[in-house]
Structures are given as structure tokens and as C-alpha cells.
Amino acid sequence: MTSTDGQPLDTDSYPLLAGIDDPAALRDLPHRKLPALAAELREFLLHSVARSGGHLAAGLGVVELTIALHYVYQTPEDRLVWDVGHQCYPHKILTGRRGRIHTVRKTDGLAGFPKRDESPYDTFGVGHSSTSISAAIGMALAARAQGSDQRTCAVIGDGGLTAGQAFEALNHAGDARPDLLVVLNDNEMSISENVGALSRTLARLLAGGVYGNLRREGKRMLERMPSGMRELAKRAEAHAKGMIAPGMFFEELGFQYFGPVDGHDLTALVPVLQRLRATEGPLLLHVVTRKGKGYALAEEDPIAYHGVKAFDPSEGLPEGGGGGTSYTRVFGDWLCDIAAQDRRVWGITPAMREGSGLVEFAHRFPERYLDVGIAEQHSVTVAAGLACEGERPVLAIYSTFLQRGYDQLIHDIAIQKLPVVLAIDRAGLVGADGPTHNGAFDLSYLRCVPNLVVMAPADEDECRQMLYTGHCHDGPAAVRYPRGAGPGVPVSPRMQALPMGRAEWRRRGKGVALLAFGSMVTPALEAAEALDASVLNMRFVKPVDEQAVMEAAAEHDLLVTLEENVIAGGAGSAVAECLARAGVTVPIRHIGLPDRFIEHGDPGVLLHRLGMDGPGVTRRVEEWLAPRRHALRGG
């Protein structure tokens, strides 16, 4: 493959790592060499991601944990399930993909998340949080039914554990009792030397046979006691365990809890995991790690170093950024402006303050800012509750994350006609994160919901005005906008509501009318210059401007709809349905995302391949026009 992704790092500086082409080779290493391997892996990861870009801080934080898991578990026969997957780079490096890690998240390169068709070591495809325990339960139950002796381990972060699905899975595991280890990767605090030594000793004690034997014998003794004494003994046991083990919650759910243990201490991790692999039933190991471990700048600011572009590790990330104003920035500025005018305005996010542009709002209006954690369903319904009491909530959420709150959107907001503004970021193709994060479906799944207004801005200023339009609307409204910068239109400080459901003509041509939604207006205008076509900026997906559609149909020989959304059920379908209702027959074609998942890569490259950039639109329209022109010439 030829690409501009650069070359892999020379492995001469990493002698131990260079010999690890799969976990079997890792397991051949003597235990005493594992810390040295961890040092090499961390250094290799840092310099590789610094050259190529990608997720960094999370991977640096799980280097030792990744080594320990592959050292103890017989992967890929044993199942190792990572939650979210931001931390999977060390896993990929140790499982035969070291030579391609420089292509991660690049077009035609490695995926930034675990992916089943990329490697047998990627047991479950992820990208969103809080699915690991559920998937691992299914795998463990399948192993039991098939009589297999494979072991199953799920790794989930403390952030991922805030989502409802994780708790649902924990609750089910306590009842189904699969042979399953859940590793809780807690990176919200670091362990000091003294506490680390104590926790290491405690984890070994709890994972050993003494504690387990005492626990079993204690249960037998309790069963022989009179009921009054038994209740008293249970309370005493709960009190004692609460003092020595911070895991009563998990114990009550049916898990045996072990830890906390220092996740950067391989002398502690390996023996604990070895004992737990041989232990039956649902188990939870509490591991404490530090994001960005080993690289001081990432330790100090793990949010900035979560996902990075290429940089010099000796200097750190460059200050500021290039390019035009991003839609996310437009939203964040608008929210602060409208909140200053209207004290009913709230800003809500499901754990995406930075990504959704809410940093300044959280600073200026802390009493009206809600970060609900990784809980998309809750974020939608809490917005509905605020709206019930006369407040004007704005939910900032990625298109792909809103899919998780779809039931709540319908039942809790739309049915009740509540005035909630949905600021939907990352609409369309998002690039390096790939199919799990592409906002490919929102126009389809939103426009079929009654009582909901759906808008798609063509540029930065239109985004601001649409957000204000949604705020003024007495009902639910959604504004969906893409990732990154817009076409460069200056943003006016004024706020003016747009006429509801009205499109605008951006160019008058002849023969062909390009009916463009949102981000596709810019390539439509480029194509229109070559085709001498008309361009209608549709603005509203719902309600669609039926008058403008009829005008376009009456004055043109071919209508072409354009949207950065799947064609199936999308905005183009709304136009076709409008024509069908009116009994108007006119040739119509649709340009949008095809009926398949689009892989990761540079968005410009991907849109070009799909024929959705300016030249691509021109070519496709000319191909559709060719038979008609041939027929007119009498051929």
C-alpha cells in the first residue's frame, strides 16, 4: 500500500519488543523481564503516536495491565474484551500489528478501536463505552454451554462504569454467575507509595486461598446459627468488609471483589491475575492506573493528550490550532450568548464537555451546566424534565451518541412536545474514528419523529441562526452540524430566527436543480458552476419546504438531492415523498452515503471516493444527463 502515513519506527531501540510478534512470544519471557518490556512498549507507543497521531493518554495508562493480561490469559483462545477501545494501541502492538501501528486511524490503515475482522485477538468490536461486560457475559455463557474451558475477561474504565448498560450487565452477571473477570481500570486517582504497597498486599491476600476459604467456611457457620445470631453475624461481617475492602457494592451484586491494586506494578498484577484466572464465578478486580503514565505532559493534562495529531514529544502539543472556525466553536459561543440573555437556558452533555464545546459555558454558568456522565439516555430525559418546569435546556450530543437515547427522544421529548434544543455535533463522516462514530443516520432516524423540527446548516453563520431558531421554537428542535471547520462564512453576532421550513435559492441555473442539505451545499455550489445548475439550500429536513420543491420540479428537467447521511430514509427521501404526495413526476436522483458502513480515514478522501465532493457530484450528474442528451441528439 502506498500512502502518506510515514514509516514504522525502527525497532533497534526496542530489543525486547522487537521479539514479540504475538502474545505466545510474550508468555515465553521470564517474569523478571516484564518491567523492561513495559518501558520499551511505553516509549514505542509514545513516539509512534507522536509521528502518526491517534489516541495516546489512555494507552500509556494501560501498558502494564495489557502486558499482564496477555501474559496470564491464553489469548486469543481466552477472550479479552476492551471497553470503548481508546486504550487498545498497546494491545494491537503486542498482537502482531506493531509494524502497522503507524497507520492507525489513517485511510486504509489500522482501526483506532478493536475490530473483529482485523485480528482474532480483537474479540469484540467497540468504539462506544460500557458494552464490554455485556459482551463478555455472552461469551462466558457460550463457553459454559459449549463445554469450553476458555476464560473471559472484560476491561472497563471508571468512566465507562457510569453508563446504565454496565450496571445492567453487572446485575445480570450476579444472577447468571458466569466464569468472568471484570477488570475495573480506575484512572481517576493515583496511588502513593505507601498506599500502593498496602493495596498490593491486600489484593494478594484477597485473591489467595485464605480469604476464599474463610469466606466459604463463614457461610457454612452462618447457616447453622439461629436466625437472630445469623443476622447479627451478617451485619458484623458487612461492617468488617466495609473497613478492609471497598467493594461492598460489587459483592452485593454477586461479584467477588479484589483490590485495589496498583495497575503499573507488574509484580502485583501478574500473580493476582494468575490466581483469579483459576477462580470460578463472577469476579471484579479493581486496578488503579494513571492516564498518560510515563509521559509527564500527558499525566498533567490527559484530556489534551487523549487524541492527538502528530507532534514532537520533546516539546509537547503545539499551542492553538489552524483552520477556520469550527461548528463546535460556533455552538459554544452561541450557547454562552443565549444563556446570558435567557436565564432559563441550560447546557447538558453526556461526558463530552470539551468535544461538544461546553468548556466556556461550564465556566461562566456552572449552576446551569450538567455533565451527566456516559449516560446518553439519562441526558435526554433530564432535559425533558427541565423543559417540563419551564426551563430551556440545550443538549449537546454527538450524532452517534444520540442513537443511544433514541427511545427517550421519542417518548420523553417528542410525544410531550417539549422545547428542548438538540445540538447534534459530528454529523456525517467524522474521519479517523470510523463507522462507530460516523453521524450517518440522524436525518433518517430524526425526520420520522412527529413534532420534531430538524435543521442542517450550510455554513457557520447559518448554524448560529438555526440554533437560535430552535431556541425560539415552542417545541423540540434539532440542529445537526459536521465536525471541524465550515466553509469560512463570518459569524454574525446578531441572532435572528429563520422562517420555519423555508429553503433559499443559492444559485439559479438551468436544466438541473441541486437540492442540498447542510454540508453538501458547498460541493453542490462547486458542481453547479461546472454544470450551470441551480442550487437550493434546503435548510430544513423537517418540515421540508414543499413550495420550493415544487418550484424546482416545475423549472428543471432533473432534481438531485445531496446529503451527508445515508440515502435510505434520509433527506432526499423527504423530497421524493413530497413530490409523490403532490402527484408530480420529475426525474430525481439522490447523492448520499451508501447502504454500508464507511470505514475510517480522511473525510476528504472518503467523500471523494464516494463521489460526494464537488468533482464527484459533477461527474455523477453528467453521467445521469448523458442518456437524455444522447436521446435529444437523435442517437
| 462 catalytically annotated | no
Measuring CA to CA, how many Å separate 228 from each of 217, 236, 446, 523?
19, 13, 58, 78
> Annotated catalytic, 105?
no
Active-site hit among 92, 290, 291, 480: 291
Bridge partners (DSSP) listed for residue 505: 536
Sheet holding 421-425, edge to edge: 369-371, 345-349, 392-398, 421-425, 477-480, 453-455, 540-542
Encode 158-178 in three state secondary structure: CCHHHCHHHHHHHHHHHHHCC
Distances (CA, A) of 198 to 203, 243, 280, 509, 515: 9, 14, 26, 77, 67
The catalytic position among 376, 460, 563, 564 is 376
Spacing of C-alpha 178 from chain mean position: 28
Place of cell 444520540: 402
Q: First CA to last CA across the chain, in angstroms?
A: 43
Burial of 222 (0-12, 13-18, 19+ CB in 10 A): middle
Cβ atoms of 578 and 546 closer than 8 Å: yes
Dihedral of alpha carbons 502, 507, 512, 516, sign: negative
Cell matching residue 334: 452561541
CB-count burial class (<10 Å; 0-12, 13-18, 19+) for 252: exposed
Rounded to 10°, the helix 193-207/209-224 angle is: 60
Report the C-alpha gap between 158 and 289 in whole angstroms: 11
| Per-state percent for the chain, helix, strand, coil, to nearest 5 | 50, 15, 35
Q: How many CB atoms lie within 10 A of CB 597?
A: 12
Per annotation, catalytic residue among 92, 368, 404, 483: 404
* Separation CA 576–CA 588 (nearest Å): 8
Strand ranges (E), 107-214: 152-157, 180-186
Residue 330 DSSP symbol: H
Using only C-alpha atoms, what is the Rg of the chain?
A: 28
The whole-angstrom separation of Cα 274 and Cα 270 is 6
The angle at the Cα of 163, spanning 94 to 430, to the nearest 5 degrees, equals 60
From residue 307, alpha-carbon distances to 127, 288, 509 in Å are: 14, 21, 44
Active site residue 291: yes
Residue 363: CB partners within 8 Å, gap ≥ 6? none
- Compute the half-sphere exposure of residue 240: CA atoms within 13 Å on the CB side of its CA: 7
Chain centroid offset of residue 541 CA: 25
E strand map for 295-349: 307-308, 345-349
Distance CA 387, CA 392 (A): 6
Give strand pairing partners of 606: none
β-strand partners of 282: 180
Catalytic amino acids? 291, 376, 404
